[in-house]
Amino acid sequence: MNTLNWSEIIIDDNDLDLIYNRLLEKETPMTPLQLAEALIESRIKAYKKSNKAEEKKNDQYYRPAKKYAEGDEIEFPLLENAKGIVESVREGINPSIGKFSVITVVFKDGSKKEFASELETHKLNKYDYENPDENMQDPRYVIRKFGRPISKKIAAVLSNNEDLVRIGSFWFPQALLTEVNPGYLNLAEAVLEMEEGRPLHTEEILEQLEYPMDSNPELTVFSFNYAMQNDPRFGEVGPVNVVLWTLKEMQPEDVRKTPMTLKFNENLKEYGEDENSSEFSIDIIQDELEENQLIEPVESVDSFRVCLSYPHWKAGTLPLVGALQSIFPTANETDSVVFNFRDKKTGETFIGWVILSKNYVCGLKPWYRENGIIPGSMFKVNRTDDTGLVELELIPPRSSKDWIRTFNLDDKNHFSFVTNQHKVTTDFDERMAIYVENSPQLDTFWESNNRKEANIIRQIELVFRELAKDNPQGILHFNEIYAGINMLRRIPPHLLYKILLREETIVQIDQMYFKLIEKDED
C-alpha cells in the first residue's frame, strides 16, 4: 500500500502539472504554501482512493467486521505482517458486545491465536495500517507541521520553470503579465521617499499613484510588482505571502550591513584546523556561526527559549538558529524580511528585520534596553497565527535582585569582572550572565580587541584570569569562557573549544571544565 511520508515528499511531474493548472484556473498569483495546500489535498485524496482499491483487491488485512470461514488466509499488519489460516469459527459470548464470532488462526510458526469477527464496532475496521496517525490525512495538520519544508521544495521546482515568474513569494505565468510604463516607477520611488523608509504594500503605492486597474486587480498588482522587482532602486522585504516595498538606500543600517559585534574574523579558523575535538554538548549557547545549529527541524516549534550572548545584546539582534527559523518569517527571494515584534506583556509592537544570508534578526535594541535585558538573559520567542508577527515574552526570574558577574572598563580600556547585586527582569543563565552598562566606550574597546595584531590566545588568557579570580581552584566551565571572550571579540563555540584543547597553558579537567596553568605553577 502507498504511504504518506510528508517529511520525505518528492515533487514529481504530476505535481508540477497540478500546480500549473491551479495557477491558470485561479488566474491569481499564489505562494508555494498555497500551492502546497492544493498538492497535499490532492495527494491525500489519491492516497485514500488508491489504498481503498488496493485493500479491496487483496482483501487479506484483518478487519473485525468481516465474516471469515475455515481456510481463509488473513494478514495481520500490526503483528509484523504475520499471515495465518482460519482453523475454526465459533460463536462469541459477551452480552455487553452483542452478537459476534471468534476465529482461531494458525500461523506459519504453528502458534494459534483467537480473534473477533463479525464485530461491527471496532477501531480496526477503519484503521489505516500504513499510516496509523490519522493526522497525516488531515490537510490542516499536515500544512501546520510540514507545510514549510514542502513549500520550499515546491519553490525549488518552480524556480527551474522558465514559464513562471516570482514576486516575493508569489508565482504566476509570465505570459499573462501586463506591461508597466517606466514613468510610474519613478513616481513609486517618490512615494517611498516620502515614507522615509517605512515599507508599503503595493496596493498603497498604486492608490497614491492613481494607477489604472483592469478587470483583474490581483494580476495588475502582480505585474507592477514584477516591474519593481527588476528595478534596482526597490527592495522587496515582505515575509512569505506578503509583498512590501522599500527603497534599498533607506533601509536601517543593521539591515544593509552586518553589525560590528556579529562580524567574525575568518583568520581565527586557522587556530583550530589541526585539532580533532570530540563532540560535546552546548546546552545553552546559541550561535549562528555553528553550522549544525542552522539545521531547521522537520517539525516546526511554537516557542523557543533564547539565551542572549553579548555580541547579539550589543547589536540588538538574535541568532537565527534552526528552531527559530520556523517562528520568524522567511522569503524565497529577498534577503531582508520585515515583520513586527509584539511584547506579550504590554501588547506594544515594533518593526524587526530578518537577515536570511547572515542568519540574524535585528531591531531589538530598544526592547533590550527598556526591559533590562543583559547578556545571558533568557526569554521566549513565540509563534503567532500571523506570519508577520512574532511575540516576545519575558520569563519570570527567581527574585527581583540577584548576584551577577559584572563587566567593568576603566579609562585605559582595561577590563575586569566583579560580582555585584543587580535588578533582574527575566530569567538568566548563571554561567552566561554578564551585567554591562551600554556606552560608546564598549565600541572602542571592541575595535581595539579586533585589530589584526590582537592575539586571541593572549585575550583568552586575560579573560580566563579575570573570570577565575573568585574561584580558589581557578576552574571555569566552558560556557563562562565563551561568554567572557565574546565580550572582546566574536568566536563560535566549537572553534573556542578547539583552541582551549590545543593550548599548553590550559588544562582540560573534564569535558566542559578547564583550568589555566600559570608559568610559575608546576
Residue ranges of the chain that CATH labels 1.10.10.10: 177-251
The rounded distance, in Å, linking the Cα atoms of 239 and 169 is 8
d(CA 496, CA 287): 12
- 466 with 416: CB under 8 angstroms? yes
Range with the lowest mean pLDDT among 233-242, 272-281, 390-399, 486-495? 272-281
This model's pTM is above 0.75? no
Contacts of residue 138, defined as CB under 8 A and 6 or more positions apart, other chains included, come to none
- Mean pLDDT for the chain? 87
Is the pLDDT confidence value at 14 over 50?
Answer: yes
pLDDT of residue 411 exceeding 50: yes
Exposure string over 391-401, b if 16+ CB within 10 A, otherwise e: bbebeebeeee
So what's the pLDDT on residue 491? 94
Q: How far apart are CA 50 and CA 188, in angstroms?
A: 52
- pLDDT of 37 above 80: yes
Of 52-56, 66-70, 95-99, 296-300, where does the model show the most confidence?
Answer: 66-70
Distance in angstroms (rounded) separating the CA atoms of residues 435 and 368: 13
pLDDT-wise least confident of 108-112, 224-228, 351-355, 512-516:
108-112
Q: What is the DSSP string of 421-470?
A: EEE--S-B-TTT--B----HHHHHHHHHHTSTT--HHHHHHHHHHHHTTT
Q: Which of 111-115, 292-296, 355-359, 382-386 is predicted least confidently?
A: 292-296
What single letter denotes the amino acid at residue 390?
A: V
Look up residue 38 and give its three cell numbers.
492544493
Helices 139-158 and 32-58: angle between axes, nearest 10 degrees: 120
Strands 401-409 and 415-423: antiparallel
DSSP for 7-28 reads GG----HHHHHHHHHHHHHHTS
Considering the segment(s) 280-394 as one domain, its CATH architecture is Beta Barrel (2.40)
Residue 1 near residue 54 (C-beta atoms within 8 A): yes
Q: Tens digits of per-residue pLDDT, 128-175? A: 665 555 566 677 888 888 878 888 888 888 888 888 888 877 888 888
pLDDT, residue 1, reads 43
Range 468-491 average pLDDT: 93
426-454: pLDDT as tens digits: 999 999 999 999 899 999 999 999 998 88
pLDDT score of 28? 84
CB atoms within 10 A of CB 375: 26
**Domain ranges in the chain with CATH number 2.30.30.30:** 62-125
Phi, psi of 175 (to 5 degrees): -65, -20
Distance CA 3, CA 106 (A): 29
Averaged over 486-498, what is the pLDDT? 94
> Which architecture does CATH list for 62-125?
Roll (2.30)
Q: What is the pLDDT of residues 254-273, one digit of tens each?
A: 999 999 999 998 877 777 65
Q: Does domain 177-251 have CATH number 1.10.10.10?
A: yes
- What's the pLDDT at 26? 82
Asked if the model's pLDDT at residue 292 lies above 90, the reply is no
Three-state SS sequence of 116-159: EECCCCCHHHCCCCCCCCHHHHCHHHHHHHHHHHHHHHHHHHHC
Residue 24 has pLDDT above 90, yes or no: no
What totals of helices (H) and strands (E) does the chain contain, helices first?
14, 21
Helices 139-158 and 13-26 cross at an angle (nearest 10°) of 100
Distance between CA 475 and CA 365 in Å, rounded?
Answer: 34
Give the pLDDT confidence score for residue 408 in this predicted structure. Answer: 94
How many CB atoms are located within 10 Å of the residue 420 CB? Answer: 10
Fold of 401-423+434-516: Arc Repressor Mutant, subunit A (1.10.10)
Residue 242, pLDDT score: 82
Query: What proportion of the chain, given as a percentage, has pLDDT over 90?
Result: 51
Q: Any idea of the CA torsion for 212, 216, 220, 222, to the nearest 10 degrees? A: 160
The CA distance from 158 to 172, in Å, is 10
* pLDDT class of 13 with cuts at 50, 70, 90: confident
Q: Look at residue 204 in the predicted model and tell me its pLDDT.
A: 96
Contact 360, 311 (CB under 8 A): no
CA of 303: how far to CAs of 384, 393, 413, 425, in Å? 9, 10, 39, 20
Please report the pLDDT score of residue 520 as a whole number.
Answer: 57
| pLDDT score, position 157 | 87
